Every structure is written in structure tokens, then in C-alpha cells.
Chain A
Amino acid sequence: MPELTLQSVMRRLIVASSVLLFAAHAPVKAQDRPTVVAVNYALSYFAERLGGSDIEVVFPVPDGVDPSFWRPGISDISTMQNADLILLNGAGFATWTAKASLPRSRILDTSRGFEDRFITTETVTHSHGEGGEHSHTGTASFTWLDQELAILQAAAIAEALAQRGLAEPATVETRMAALTEDLTALDAAAERLRPLAEGKVLIATHPRYQYLARAYDLDIRSLDWEAGAAPDKDQLADLEALVKDSGALVLLWEAQPTDEARAAIRELGLADVVFPTLANSPASSDYAETLGTALDDLLAALGGLDG
């Protein structure tokens, strides 16, 4: 045990009073409902559907910020440390969750039950710094774009809410049945892509759709464009080369493009569809409606190619 000196005691008192002062100025909760924090919008939507008014769901990532690489502030971590449940996506999503002490007993990794179904991305070898040539591998992390995996993640949340007494179990069960019905309907809509997409190549502006591609047999090649930003000349030249090489006919935008960007794409003869990944909140509507619209638009685009 460290020796207690007057100086160290005073320091501890100062820190303790500072914390109390900080706590006094922290936002007061509107109610005493259990707080559930989610690392992406999809999980926050599932939690809201399952917990209803029994819980307060916090999705701390600001609009327009990629939750995968968001950097929280100290107050954000404080919020999480005080939450009753912290919903992680797993599959390596949200690296910031390993940059602070989070209470393990209140963490739920929603994809732990299907780690054997994670998609490992290919190895890229490059060289920089002192380490010489080295390789990176990774895990694709946008799991919820496969609706079967989305249902498993929602089920994990439902189980945690019920088992931890954060919401009434019978009510959670009823809500889970309704959510499963909606996600199953989205799965059925996505299944309709399979025959239309056979033999066709799609290009995505960002490599986010690995689970969607695997689940519904889509051949999706990826670019690395910033979401919502207009592509520059070099990016368009790369796209043109990829279109020639792959014979791609449809482009998926991760976020709403500018009119100028959209016009440039159409000049290349590509049909295009805005397909939000739902890692962050959609501009309007919710998970089910946004994904449903994106699937309908993609179905129409693929169907139009055969027309």
C-alpha cells in the first residue's frame, strides 16, 4: 500500500472534489430509465425496438461521422462507463472501444455468437516506417447488412435486456417477434436480388458491403471514396478502368452523392443506387425503411438492366 503523505492526501481530496464538481455539471438524466449505449445506429435501432420506453438508448456518434473510426471525447467515455449496457458490434467495429476502460460486466458483444461467420479480408502487403515490409489483414465489420446476422444481433440484445432486468422479459419477447418479422421481410426483399444480380458486377464507393454480398450472392467490387464527397478526376479515371475491366453496370453510393458526381457516373453508363450502410443514423426514416428503400432501388436498377 502506498505511503500516505499530507501531500498525497490533499491531492486525493482535490481530485475527489473535482470529480464531484464535474458530476454536478454533467447533464442530468431526464428519467431513471436504464441507459443502453450502442456503437452504431443499427444496434441502437434494435435496442430501441426491443427496449421501447423501458430504456434510454444512447448512440453517441455525431451525424456525418463514421462510427467505425469515431474518436470519443472524455465525456462520451464517462457516459459509457455509467451505462447499464454497452452494445458492441464486434468483428472489430469501432476501434475506440479499446481505447478506454469500459466496464466488462456491462458490455455485450452482439456478434460473439457467430464469430465463425466473420469475413476475413484479404492481405495487403506494403512498407512504411521502421517495420519494413509488412502485411495487414482485417475483419469485415458491417455484419448487420446480412439480415440473418442482424436477427442474431438483435436476439443477443433482447436476451441481455431481459436477463439483466432492464426491460420486462415478456414484453421484450413480443417486441423481438415484431422486429424479427421486419428483418425477415428485409431478408426476403434482399433475396430477390439474387436472380437479378447473377452474372452482374456491382461497384461500391466504399468497401462496406461484404456481408450483404456474401448473403445474397452479389459480386461487389469496391472503391475507397469518401462518403458524400464528389469524386475527383483520378477517382473517376480509376472507376472507368474498373468498369471496363469488370463490366460493372451498377454503382452503390454509401451516402447521397452530389448532382455533379451522379452525372459523372451516369456518363460512364452506370446505373446508381444510394445504399446507406446504417452504421450512422439515416438522414430521415429508420433502419427498416431506409434499408427497404435501398433494396427496392437496387432491385429496380438491376431489373432495369434486363428490360
Chain B
Amino acid sequence: MDRAVTRRGFPVVAAAALILGAAPTAFAHQLNVFASTDCEVVLVEAKFSSGRVPVKGEVRILDGANTLLRTLELGEDGTLSVPFGELDAATGLLIEVDTGGHDDYWILTPEDIAKKCQS
């Protein structure tokens, strides 16, 4: 039996609260952060889901023990390049970007880094 066909309509649920329990699959300007390394630099890229690039933002780089390694400014093109040698990446890197109102993060594990550095 397919309930989707046989059941009656879904009752109205309070709209004001609905969004708070829902997965934000289509936020108009959710910030998305991606980071990668080629073992020479760590490249951080930030972009809103609308496609717009944040013109400013704070980038925090932490290690596997959540120790803050560096705090830097995001470039006007929404990217930041950090020399790999300046970071202790042995336990991985957690890269946070905060544009003041929106924030997101990306995790680079030791395995992610090893793959790039051994290739």
C-alpha cells in the first residue's frame, strides 16, 4: 500500500516554526566553504549559495586539537591562499570562514593532506 497515494492531505503545521526544524537545503545565501591543498599552499574558497562571492571575511585555521593556528582575512575574490609550510598540518586542518552573519567550515584530515602530498 502506498501511503503517499492513499492518505489524506498533510495537516497544516505552524509555518513560523517549520523552517527551524528543516534542513536548510535551499538557503538563499548560505555560505559554502571549500579548502584544498597541493602541499604547497592551502587554498580556501568561500561562496554564497546564490553564487555571490563574499568580499570580506575572517578565516580561522585550527588543528586537530582545535588549537587556533592562524587568523587571516579572506581576499576580495572570496579566496585565501596560505603557504602550507606555515601550518602544522600533522593532525589535520579545520578551516572556518566567518563573513559576519554567515559562517561555514571545511575539514582537511591528515589523510586528505597525505593524499595530495604523496601524489
Residues B109 and A77 in contact, CB atoms below 8 Å apart: yes
User: At the interface, yes or no: A62 with Cβ under 8 Å from chain B?
Assistant: no
Q: Which residues of A contact B77 (CB under 8 A)?
A: none
Closest A residue to B28 by beta carbon equals A134
A207-B13 contact, Cβ under 8 Å, with A15-B89, A117-B4: yes
How far, in angstroms, from A137 to B19 measured CA to CA in the complex?
Answer: 7
A129-B29 contact, Cβ under 8 Å, with A11-B84, A92-B24, A136-B24: yes
Q: A109-145: which residues lie under 8 A (CB-CB) from chain B? A: 116-117, 119, 121-122, 124, 128-131, 134-142
- A131 CB → nearest B CB, Å: 5
How far, in angstroms, from A128 to B27 measured CA to CA in the complex?
Answer: 13
How far, in angstroms, from A139 to B19 measured CA to CA in the complex?
Answer: 8
Q: Which residues of A contact B110 (CB under 8 A)?
A: 18-19, 22-23, 74, 78
Please pick, from B12, B15, B23, B91, the residue contacting A68 in the complex, using a CB distance under 8 A: B23
B21-52 vs A, Cβ < 8 Å mask (1 yes, 0 no)? 11111111100010000111000000010101
User: How many interface contacts (CB-CB < 8 Å) are there between A and B?
Assistant: 189
Residues B21 and A12 in contact, CB atoms below 8 Å apart: no
Residues B118 and A95 in contact, CB atoms below 8 Å apart: no
Please pick, from B10, B40, B109, the residue contacting A8 in the complex, using a CB distance under 8 A: B40
User: At the interface, yes or no: A43 with Cβ under 8 Å from chain B?
Assistant: no
User: At the interface, yes or no: B64 with Cβ under 8 Å from chain A?
Assistant: yes
Q: Which residues of A contact B100 (CB under 8 A)?
A: 129
A8-B39 contact, Cβ under 8 Å, with A138-B23, A139-B23, A140-B22: yes
User: At the interface, yes or no: A104 with Cβ under 8 Å from chain B?
Assistant: no
How far, in angstroms, from A117 to B2 measured CA to CA in the complex?
Answer: 11
Count class of interface residues, chain B: 35 or more
How far, in angstroms, from A93 to B23 measured CA to CA in the complex?
Answer: 6
A222-B114 contact, Cβ under 8 Å, with A136-B27, A217-B7: no
Q: Which residues of B contact A8 (CB under 8 A)?
A: 39-40
User: At the interface, yes or no: A106 with Cβ under 8 Å from chain B?
Assistant: no
Residues A124 and B15 in contact, CB atoms below 8 Å apart: yes
A140-B25 contact, Cβ under 8 Å, with A15-B113, A15-B114, A99-B107: no
User: At the interface, yes or no: B111 with Cβ under 8 Å from chain A?
Assistant: yes
Residues A138 and B24 in contact, CB atoms below 8 Å apart: yes
Q: B66-99: which residues lie under 8 A (CB-CB) from chain A? A: 66, 84-85, 89-94, 99
Closest 10 CB pairs of A and B: A92-B23, A207-B21, A138-B22, A18-B90, A74-B92, A134-B28, A129-B101, A219-B11, A222-B17, A121-B22
8 additional A-B residue pairs with CB within 8 Å, beyond A19-B111, A136-B27, A219-B12: A18-B90, A74-B93, A82-B111, A100-B107, A128-B101, A134-B29, A210-B22, A213-B11
A-side interface residues toward B, CB under 8 Å?
Answer: 2, 7-8, 11-12, 15-16, 18-19, 21-23, 68, 71-75, 77-78, 81-82, 91-93, 95, 99-101, 116-117, 119, 121-122, 124, 128-131, 134-142, 146, 148, 206-208, 210, 213-215, 217-224, 242
